[in-house]
A and B are shown apart, each in its own frame.
Chain A
């Protein structure tokens, strides 16, 4: 299924820093596309000779196969002085693009998958938090998420209780705001931009906007890549590979509030590319 509401959304298709005149062949929702820099240096994305709508933002080139009805979502922190912007690179994952986002939203897996980094036993309890679909912004938000983490960020030297906010501003994108150890009162921003190559295959482009004057760029990238590579092995073994919108085969719990809100939002908006509609 390709002709659903997701056709008109924006998707990341490459790093701005890697643009070149030769172009890079990739895919978007099953369609072959080419991402290149034009003669004037601007980004150009084509599909079978057709020039696609393009945006350049948050270190990435964004494109759409359809006709976007709204502008690419805003991340105000991307314009905030003092932050370091980190292009983490790309991780290819053989799973539904929606599964990749859902996994990012799942805080309960931290102690088990990211042991001694983002979580540790016996600190497995997810405290109550608030989830809502903000109709005005048309986004899913989870707030007041608190979790003990042995090393919440590259810059953290010991365990702290980290507070999070999760935001889903587009069907294959999520923005995570988390406690910023060196700067109380500010939030570190870690995003997950997912390029749907096919319904069961995606390129994940994490990007970060951090307050961290100490860590090297290599260390920041390595820390985040470690996290996503740990996730990949889980994601590639999930059954079914597509994200079920009917929870018939799964039993969601209180800890899955954000995931359920995300699935409800996808269902309501008709975002079904990469989704399994009927439990099998």
Chain B
């Protein structure tokens, strides 16, 4: 995927906070699937999860909104998004 088509974005989403919960990664995958977004988890560790996500910007916005709340056992402090190169494997 080449990235920035007119209505498709390919972004790196970095989620920071108390996010080292085993429940959060599958939660993110489910939420992205509901939105029809392709995603690939690039890093999952204490304090930080990184994923590449591809799809329409409005839907990526919605994924960010959902993740900012997340499941009850995680606390998301910040979410940053940057343009990503390359494709998702999802």
A interface residue numbers (CB < 8 A to B): 245-248, 251-254, 256-257, 260, 263-264, 267-268, 277-279
Asked if residues B62 and A253 are in contact (CB atoms below 8 Å), the reply is yes
Asked if residues B71 and A246 are in contact (CB atoms below 8 Å), the reply is yes
Which of A248, A253, A264, A278 has the most C-beta atoms of chain B within 10 angstroms of its own C-beta?
A248
Asked if residues A248 and B35 are in contact (CB atoms below 8 Å), the reply is no
Asked if residues B62 and A252 are in contact (CB atoms below 8 Å), the reply is yes
The distance from the CB of B44 to the nearest CB of chain A, in whole angstroms, is: 19
The complex places the Cα of A268 from the Cα of B27 at a distance, in Å, of 19
* A279 CB contacts on chain B under 8 angstroms: 71
Q: Residue of B at shortest CB range from A268?
A: B75
Asked if residues A245 and B69 are in contact (CB atoms below 8 Å), the reply is yes
Given contacts A251-B34, A254-B61, contact A278 B72 (CB under 8 A): yes
The complex places the Cα of A252 from the Cα of B59 at a distance, in Å, of 10
Which of A251, A263, A279 has the most C-beta atoms of chain B within 10 angstroms of its own C-beta?
A251
14 residue pairs bridging A and B, Cβ less than 8 Å apart: A245-B69, A246-B70, A246-B72, A247-B31, A247-B65, A247-B69, A248-B30, A248-B31, A252-B65, A254-B61, A254-B62, A260-B69, A267-B69, A278-B72
* A254 CB contacts on chain B under 8 angstroms: 58, 61-62, 65
The 3 closest A-B pairs by CB, nearest first: A252-B65, A277-B72, A246-B71
